[in-house]
Each structure stands twice: as C-alpha cells, then as structure tokens.
Amino acid sequence: MSLTLRAALLVLFASVCAQAQTRTLALYANSTAGLDAESRTAMRNEVQRLLSPAGLDVVWRDAAQRAAGEDFELVAVASFQFTPSGASLADTSITDGRIIPFFNVECMRAMQMLGPRVDSITLGRALGRIIAHEIYHIVARTTDHHDTGVAKAAFSVRDLTNPRFEFDAWSLARMRPVVAGLSADGSNATGRE
C-alpha cells in the first residue's frame, strides 16, 4: 500500500476515532502576570482551538499550586520569559535525544516581533500558536517539523497574526494516540505488509 494512501487512511481513521479518544493534557505554567487578562484568555483559547482536532483537551494549572492526586494522561510544563533571553520564540527541552515535557516561551521576543502596536487579542493568539507548536513536539515526541501550518520550523509575523493558521492533517495525526497495529505514519507497526 502506498505511503500516501496509508497516511490518508490514518487521517480518516484518526478523525473518526478522535471524538472517542480525547485525552487531557495538563499544562503547568509559571506566572503569566506580564500579560493582561485579555491576552491570557486569547492565548488559552487559541491553544485549545489548535489542539482540539488532535483529540487534546488542555487544562491549565499554576505550576506553584500543584495538587497531590491529580492524574492526567499527558503533562507539559511551560515557562514564560518576559525579559529578552533568546533569539527563538520558544524551545522544548531535549535530553539524550528525547523530548521531555518542558518548554520555554520567549514572550518578549514575540512582542518585539509583533511590534509595539499589537493588541491584546492578537498577542494572546500569537502566544497560543507558539505554545501549540511546542506541545506538538512533546505530544508527537518528535523534533521534526512540517512544511506548513503550526508544525513548521519558523513562524512569520503573518503566521502569528493571520486569523486562520492551523496544524495540517499530517501533524494532527502525529499527535493522536497510536492505534494498535499502526504507527503514527500509517504504516504497519509490526513492519509487515
């Protein structure tokens, strides 16, 4: 079976099963006090909008107030920086070649990129897209990028501000749970045809 056909079947199968397989991702974050309430709301809404098609429900938690006994299928830890400290918009931690569920968002870098007249909703949406990109790496367990959409390697100002900017079907499929017998790319996980 061709790789294209396998990928199409996987996307179709995953989209049918997506409603039945929604997973909860707890996103523990440090303070976002450098953002106004409107930006924080837009950021959270954008993260959920982008990750929902991958079957992910994001629950935001304050990193300083972790509660014993909370149990989530997936966990990520975010750190928001409001002082200039890097050239990239964000980065995900890697140890021994493996993605670990920690990422850093360079809020000041995003603000500089968007310019001084950026409104709160646009800033929040842009940060949500940056966060969703890092969560893609964590959930898909990959350092790979795609050619288009939120999983691409670099964002332009247009990507961050355009009303419609999403994950492509291939990237969404990579974030969904692996179906027994199939790998994330749609091939037979056993290596047999």
> What's the order of all strands across the beta sheet hosting 98-106?
56-62, 23-29, 74-81, 98-106, 90-95
* Dist. CA 90–CA 109, nearest whole Å: 9
Is residue 14 scored above 50 in pLDDT? Answer: no
Name the pLDDT band for 143 (thresholds 50, 70, 90). very high
Q: If we measure between CA atoms, which residue out of 66, 102, 107, 54 comes closest to residue 85?
A: 107
Beta bridge partners of 126: none
Sequence-separated (6 or more) residues with CB below 8 Å from residue 159:
129, 152, 165
pLDDT digit string, tens, across residues 45-87: 999 999 999 999 999 998 887 777 788 999 999 999 998 777 7
Residue 16 predicted with pLDDT over 50: no
pLDDT of residue 6: 53
**Does 192 have pLDDT greater than 60?**
no
What is the pTM (predicted TM-score) of this model?
0.82
- Tens of pLDDT, residue by residue over 91-140, are 999 999 999 999 999 999 999 999 999 999 999 999 999 999 999 999 99
Q: Domains of the chain (ranges plus CATH)?
A: 3-175 (3.40.390)
Tell me the per-residue pLDDT of 147-182, one tens digit each, with 9 for 90 and over. Answer: 999 999 999 999 999 989 999 999 999 999 876 555
pLDDT score recorded for residue 1: 56
